[in-house]
């Protein structure tokens, strides 16, 4: 509260002075409060800049990871030959995560062969 009081008094005194008086006064020596506040502001700005830089660096790392995962995702496909309607062979090495192109490779053909898309007229509801 004292800092606010002194600061207001200083600016009130400054507003009452003429331009010649203002230029003759060394403002840094006259008001140490302003200098301290400016230093605090500079420190806060530096902290903000460091925080922004860190967040930008982490975003870049995250984007790089996403891109590498996407490239892996695009490369994983089930390439073994399957006759239409047969289930795929799962004895080969499977990926750790769910990759739709790999997992769902032969589903549609198997569904058609099993008759999932044909209507069942004899079933009662």
pLDDT tens-digit map of 43-87: 888 888 888 888 877 777 666 666 665 555 556 777 777 777 777
The verdict on 9 and 44 lying in the same domain is yes
Q: How many domains does the chain have?
A: 2
Whole-angstrom distance, CA of residue 110 vs CA of residue 116: 9
pLDDT in tens, 109-122: 888 888 888 887 88
pLDDT at site 28: 47
pLDDT in tens, 86-96: 777 778 777 78
Tokens of 61: 């790392």
Q: Choose among 52, 55, 100, 92: nearest CA to 76.
A: 100
pLDDT higher than threshold 60 for residue 103 = yes
Instruction: Note whether residue 80 is domain-resident.
Output: yes
Q: Residue 96 sits in which domain range?
A: 75-114
More confident residue, 59 or 98: 98
Query: By percentage, how much of the chain surpasses pLDDT 90?
Result: 0
The verdict on 8 and 33 lying in the same domain is yes
Instruction: Note whether residue 66 is domain-resident.
Output: no
Whether 90 contacts 84, CB under 8 Å: no
The verdict on 52 and 89 lying in the same domain is no
pLDDT higher than threshold 70 for residue 24 = no
pLDDT at site 30: 54
Instruction: Note whether residue 69 is domain-resident.
Output: no
The per-residue b/e assignment along 19-37, b for 16 or more CB within 10 angstroms, e otherwise, is eeeeeeeeeeeebeebeee
Q: Quick count: other Cβ atoms within 10 Å of Cβ 106?
A: 19
């Amino acid at each position: 509260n004292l800092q606010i009081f002194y600061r207001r008094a200083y600016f009130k005194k400054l507003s009452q002075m003429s331009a010649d008086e203002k230029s003759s006064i060394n403002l840094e020596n006259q008001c140490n409060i302003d200098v301290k506040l400016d230093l605090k502001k500079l420190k806060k700005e530096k902290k903000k800049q460091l925080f922004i830089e860190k967040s930008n660096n982490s975003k870049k790392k995250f984007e790089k990871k996403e891109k590498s995962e996407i490239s892996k995702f695009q490369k994983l496909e089930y390439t073994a030959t399957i006759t239409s309607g047969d289930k795929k062979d799962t004895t080969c090495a499977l990926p750790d995560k769910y990759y739709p192109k790999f997992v769902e490779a032969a589903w549609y053909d198997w569904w058609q062969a099993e008759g999932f898309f044909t209507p069942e007229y004899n079933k009662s509801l």
